[in-house]
C-alpha cells in the first residue's frame, strides 16, 4: 500500500511532548510498515525553545510562534500538550479553526470545557481525540467506545491517578504517614511540587467526567461528581482496614442503576483484598468495567509518564490520520442523547457499606452509647474491631463496619457520635466499595 504522509504539529514540548517527538522521530519506519502512514513532525511550539530535552529535533522546527503551526496548511493534526484550562483552550480552538484535527492529553480542559470544544470541532468539521487524557498508556477510551460498543455499561471503577495510588501503596506497604509518603512521591517525581490537584481527588474527577460521558453516552460535568481526596487518610485506618480484609484505594466510580440514575464519585475506598484492583500498586492505573453483555472487564497499565502517555497520543495521531477518529467522534458522540442533569444521584442517597473509626474512652458503657446511636439511625453493624489495650488519653480505637445503608443516615449517626463526650476525636468514615466478584 502507498504510504500517506501525515504532518503533525506539536504544542507543548515538556515531558509528554518530548515522548511524542521521540516516537514520531524514532519509530516512523516501524509505524509506516504497520499502518502505511508516514508521520512527520513538522513543527514544535513551546515558549521555552532553549531548555535541553531528552530528544533532538530536526533543525528549524522548534519555535515559540504558534502561528507557524496554525498557518502551515500542510499540518493536518495539532497536538495540544500544554495542559491546564487557560491558554490550552484557546490553542485548541485556534487549531480547530485553522482546520486541524486535535489530539490532546488535557483531562482538566475536556472535563471542564468539553462540551464547548466538541461543538467547536463539530462546527469546524474536525475531531478531537483524547485517548491520552485518561489512564496514560492504557487505551481505555477506545476500549469503551469501540470494544464495548455493544454493551450497556452499568459500572466503572478506576484507579486513574498514579500519584495517589503511589502514596496509598507506600502507606500500605511501608506503614508510612501521608506526609511521609507524599514527600517520597515528590522526591521520586511521582507527585508535583504542588500536589493539590492529585491528592484532592480533582484530577481523578476530571478523568471520571470523561470516562462516564463516554461510558453512559451523556455529557456529565465536574459538578456532578462527589469528590473526596486522600489528604486526611491515616495509616492507622489503612492498617485496621487491612486486618479486616480490605485495601484502601482512591477510586473513580461511575454507576448506573436500573432506572438510569447515575452515581459519580471519587473517594478513598476500602475494597476486598482479593479484588484485582487491590493488586494495582504504585503509579499503575487500572479500570474495571461492568457491561451488560461482556460482564467484568479490566484494563491495567501505566497511567502516566513520558513514554506511556506518548504511546496513547501517537495512537490517537494514527487513528486520526486513518480517519477512524473522525468517524468515532461523529458517531459515538459525547453530546447527550439522554439528559444527564436530572439523573445524577446526590451523595446523600448513596447506599454503601461504611468503615467507621471512633477514638473512644476506655470505660464502661461506651459501646452501649455507640450501639444506641447506630440503632437509632437504623444502621446495622457488619463487623467490629477493638484491640485490647488503651492508647493515649485513655482512648482506644473502635472500628465498626456497617451493612449497606444510606449515606444520609450514616452522616446523621456520625454527627451524633461526634457529640458523645466519650468519643474524643472526629469520627473517621471511609466507604467500603463492594465490587462484584468474578463468579463462574
Q: Binding to a copy of itself (CB under 8 A): which residues in 181-200?
A: 188, 190
- Spatial CA neighbour of 396 closest among 384, 380, 379: 384
Q: Does 311 sit near a copy of itself (CB under 8 A)?
A: yes
368 binding a copy of itself? (CB under 8 A): no
Joined grid coordinates for residue 168: 496509598
For a copy of itself, the closer CB: 114 or 217: 217
> Using the rule CB under 8 A, is 115 a contact of a copy of itself?
no
Determine whether 284 is exposed, middle or buried from the number of CB atoms within 10 Å of its CB (0-12, 13-18, 19+). Answer: buried
180 binds a copy of itself (CB under 8 A): no
Candidates 92, 142, 204, 407; binder of a copy of itself (CB under 8 A) is: 142
DSSP per-residue string spanning 1-45: ---EEEEEEEE--SHHHHHHHHHHHHSHHHHHHHHSEEEEEEEEE
- CB under 8 A: which stretch of 231-239, 290-298, 348-356, 406-414 binds a copy of itself? 290-298
Contact status, residue 11 vs residue 69, Cβ threshold 8 Å: yes
We find the least distance from the C-beta atom of residue 159 to a copy of itself, in angstroms, to be: 13
Contact in structure between 77 and 7 (CB atoms under 8 Å): yes
SS3 of the chain: helix, strand, coil, percent, to 5:
40, 25, 35
Q: Is 338 in the site for a copy of itself (CB under 8 A)?
A: yes
Pick the closer one to a copy of itself by CB: 105 or 350.
105
Nearer to a copy of itself, 1 or 368 (CB): 1
Return the H-helix or E-strand segment holding 129. strand 128-129
Q: Which of 5, 97, 149, 173 binds a copy of itself (CB under 8 A)?
A: 149
CB 128, CB 93: distance < 8 Å: no
Q: Is 83 helix (H, G, I), strand (E, B) or coil?
A: coil
If one asks whether residue 308 binds a copy of itself (CB under 8 A), the answer comes out as yes
Site string for a copy of itself, 258-287 (x = CB under 8 A): ------------------x--x-xxxx---
Q: Which is nearer to a copy of itself, 31 or 208 (CB)?
A: 31
Side-chain-facing half-sphere of 340: CA atoms under 13 Å: 27
Q: Which of 7, 89, 302, 431 binds a copy of itself (CB under 8 A)?
A: 302
Q: In this complex, which beta carbon is closest to a copy of itself, that of residue 22 or of residue 409?
A: 22
Q: Does 53 engage in binding with a copy of itself (CB under 8 A)? A: no
Among 298, 381, 385, 412, binds a copy of itself (CB under 8 A): 298
Region of 115 (left: φ > 0; alpha: ψ -120 to 50; beta: rest) is alpha
Q: Which residues contact 275 (CB under 8 A, 6 or more apart)?
A: 247, 435, 437
State in angstroms the smallest separation of the CB of 213 from a copy of itself: 12
Nearest to 101 by CA among 298, 330, 281, 285: 330
Cβ-based nearer residue to a copy of itself, 33 or 196: 33
Alpha helices in 46-137 (DSSP H): 66-70, 87-97, 107-124
Nearer Cβ to a copy of itself (279/403): 279
Nearby residues of 28 by Cβ (< 8 Å), 6 or more positions away: 38, 39, 40
Q: Does 257 bind a copy of itself (CB under 8 A)?
A: no
- Binding of a copy of itself by 33 (CB under 8 A): yes
123 is catalytic: no
Site residue total, a copy of itself (CB under 8 A): 70
* C-alpha span between 200 and 195 (Å, rounded): 8
Q: Does 342 bind a copy of itself (CB under 8 A)?
A: no
Q: Which residues pair with 77 in a beta bridge?
A: 8, 101
Q: Judged by CB under 8 A, which of 167, 315, 340, 414 binds a copy of itself? A: 315
Instruction: Select which of 89, 94, 100, 207 is catalytic.
Output: 207
Residue 143 interacting with a copy of itself (CB under 8 A): yes
Q: In whole angstroms, how far apart are CA 117 and each of 113, 218, 324? A: 6, 15, 19
Q: Is 175 helix (H, G, I), strand (E, B) or coil?
A: coil
Smallest gap from Cβ 27 to a copy of itself, in A, equals 7
The residue from 150, 187, 193, 368 that contacts a copy of itself (CB under 8 A) is 150
Query: Of 294 and 375, which has the nearer Cβ to a copy of itself?
Result: 294
Show which residues are catalytic.
207
Q: Which residues bind a copy of itself (CB under 8 A)?
A: 1, 19, 23, 27, 30-31, 33-37, 131, 137-139, 142-143, 146-152, 166, 188, 190, 217, 276, 279, 281-284, 291-302, 307-308, 310-315, 317-319, 322-324, 327-328, 330-333, 337-338, 438, 440
Amino acid at each position: 500500500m502507498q504510504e500517506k504522509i501525515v504532518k503533525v504539529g506539536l504544542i507543548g514540548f515538556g515531558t509528554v511532548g518530548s515522548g511524542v517527538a521521540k516516537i514520531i522521530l524514532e519509530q516512523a519506519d516501524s509505524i509506516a510498515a504497520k499502518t502505511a502512514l508516514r508521520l512527520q513532525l513538522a513543527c514544535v511550539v513551546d515558549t521555552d525553545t532553549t531548555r535541553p530535552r531528552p530528544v533532538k529535533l530536526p533543525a528549524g522546527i522548534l519555535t515559540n510562534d504558534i502561528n507557524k503551526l496554525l498557518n502551515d496548511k500542510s499540518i493536518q493534526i495539532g497536538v495540544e500538550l500544554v495542559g491546564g484550562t487557560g491558554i490550552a483552550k484557546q490553542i485548541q480552538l485556534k487549531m480547530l479553526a485553522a482546520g486541524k484535527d486535535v489530539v490532546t492529553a488535557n483531562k482538566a480542559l475536556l472535563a471542564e470545557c468539553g462540551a464547548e470544544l466538541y461543538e467547536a470541532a463539530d462546527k469546524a468539521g474536525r475531531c478531537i481525540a483524547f485517548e491520552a487524557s485518561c489512564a496514560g498508556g492504557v487505551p481505555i477510551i477506545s476500549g469503551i467506545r469501540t470494544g464495548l460498543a455493544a454493551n450497556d455499561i452499568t459500572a466503572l471503577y478506576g484507579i486513574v491517578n498514579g500519584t495517589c495510588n503511589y502514596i496509598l501503596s507506600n502507606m500500605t506497604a511501608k506503614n508510612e504517614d501521608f506526609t511521609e509518603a507524599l514527600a517520597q512521591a515528590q522526591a521520586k517525581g511521582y507527585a508535583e511540587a504542588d500536589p493539590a490537584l492529585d491528592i484532592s481527588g480533582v484530577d481523578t474527577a476530571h478523568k471520571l467526567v470523561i470516562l462516564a460521558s463516554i461510558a453512559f453516552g451523556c455529557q456529565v460535568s465536574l459538578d456532578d461528581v462527589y469528590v473526596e481526596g486522600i489528604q486526611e487518610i491515616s495509616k492507622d485506618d489503612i492498617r485496621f482496614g487491612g486486618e479486616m480484609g480490605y485495601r484502601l484505594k482512591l477510586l473513580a466510580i461511575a454507576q448506573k442503576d436500573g432506572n438510569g440514575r447515575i452515581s459519580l464519585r471519587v473517594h478513598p475506598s476500602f475494597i476486598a483484598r482479593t479484588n484485582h484492583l487491590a493488586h494495582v500498586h504504585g503509579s499503575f492505573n487500572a479500570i474495571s468495567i461492568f457491561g451488560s453483555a461482556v460482564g467484568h472487564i479490566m484494563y491495567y497499565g501505566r497511567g502516566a509518564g513520558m513514554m506511556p502517555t506518548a504511546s496513547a497520543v501517537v495512537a490517537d495521531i494514527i487513528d486520526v490520520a486513518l480517519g477512524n477518529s473522525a468517524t468515532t467522534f461523529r458517531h459515538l458522540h459525547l453530546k447527550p442523547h439522554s439528559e444527564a442533569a436530572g439523573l445524577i444521584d446526590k451523595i446523600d442517597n448513596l447506599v454503601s457499606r461504611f468503615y467507621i473509626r471512633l477514638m473512644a474512652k476506655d470505660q464502661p458503657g461506651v459501646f452501649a452509647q455507640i450501639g444506641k446511636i447506630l440503632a437509632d439511625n437504623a444502621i446495622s453493624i457488619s463487623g467490629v474491631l477493638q484491640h485490647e489495650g488503651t492508647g493515649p488519653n485513655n482512648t482506644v480505637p473502635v472500628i465498626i463496619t456497617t451493612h449497606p445503608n444510606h449515606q444520609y443516615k450514616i452522616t446523621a449517626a456520625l454527627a451524633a457520635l461526634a457529640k458523645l463526650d466519650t468519643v474524643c476525636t472526629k469520627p473517621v468514615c471511609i466507604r467500603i466499595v463492594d465490587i462484584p466478584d468474578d463468579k463462574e
